[in-house]
Amino acid sequence: MANKAIIEKKEAMVKELAEELKSAKLILVVDYRGTSVDDDTKLRKDLREANGKCKVVKNNILRRALDSNGNKELDEILVGPNAIVLADEDYLSSLKIIYKFTKQHDNYKIKGGYVDGKAMSVEDLTTLAQLPSREELLSKLAGSLLQTIAKLAVAVDQVRMKKEEEGGSPAAEEKSDAKEKKAEAKEEVKEEKTETKEAEVEEKVEVKEEK
């Protein structure tokens, strides 16, 4: 009875882990030997903030869970004490966290893993971890767009200045037209005054002749 209970418990553990592995976008097998409790606690906290997690699993349970999903490529590295790192959507953030941790702690090593169901070597995972994150790419793209917009604004301003030099600015032309109209208005007023004065003189002459 005891053996049957143990077997059923292990089968349940395998099934539960297999479901976790199936839904994970990132699966890492890591050698955590020599990691202090404080370092491990901080690492797990950083992973949680990136929607990832780390758990210690017995090799036979992990092997059976991977095998049940048709993943047998990591069988040969499942020796010694191992932990697994899992992440769903933003798996690159979790991978970067682990990679950074390995650079700071020589004892902590990535042994292999899967990304989107594809088996990855340590070299492949290291290369992927060194790629820019989504936020970094968006930041670079935004900076590039701002530079392009700034260059376009300068170019447009230069074209405007060139046109003003060649044909005069619209403001200058409007000012000139207004000045000409003002001068014409003054001339008309002057002509009207002259005509009025001449009419008055003629009227006086007529009156004088009648007398």
Q: Return the pLDDT at 211.
A: 52
Q: How far apart are CA 211 and CA 208, in angstroms?
A: 5
The stretch 8-31 carries a mean pLDDT of 92
- Would you call 30 exposed, middle or buried from its count of C-beta atoms within 10 A (0-12, 13-18, 19+)? buried
> CA–CA distance from 4 to each of 11, 61, 62, 135 (Å)?
10, 16, 20, 51
Q: Return the pLDDT at 27.
A: 95
Per-residue pLDDT tens over the stretch 120-150 = 999 999 999 998 766 655 565 566 666 777 6
Give the side-chain half-sphere CA count within 13 A for 191.
6
| Contact between 90 and 96 (Cβ < 8 Å) | no
Q: Return the pLDDT at 132.
A: 79
Structure confidence at residue 188 as a pLDDT band (50, 70, 90): low
The stretch 25-39 carries a mean pLDDT of 95
The stretch 105-134 carries a mean pLDDT of 90
Structure confidence at residue 102 as a pLDDT band (50, 70, 90): very high
Rounded to the nearest 10 degrees, the angle between the axes of helix 59-68 and helix 2-23 is: 60
Q: Which residue has the tokens 């995972």?
A: 125
Least confident of 42-46, 48-52, 179-183: 179-183
- Tokens linked to 20: 């976790």
Whole-angstrom distance between the N-terminal and C-terminal Cα of the chain?
A: 155
- In the predicted model, what is the mean pLDDT of the chain? 80
- Identify the bridge partners of residue 85 per DSSP, sorted by sequence position: 28, 54
Q: How far apart are CA 153 and CA 128, in angstroms?
A: 38
Per-residue pLDDT tens over the stretch 143-168 = 666 677 767 766 777 777 777 777 65
Q: How far apart are CA 63 and CA 57, in angstroms?
A: 10
Q: How far apart are CA 123 and CA 199, in angstroms?
A: 108
Q: How far apart are CA 90 and CA 116, in angstroms?
A: 11
pLDDT at 208 over 60: no
pLDDT at 45 over 70: yes
Structure confidence at residue 7 as a pLDDT band (50, 70, 90): confident
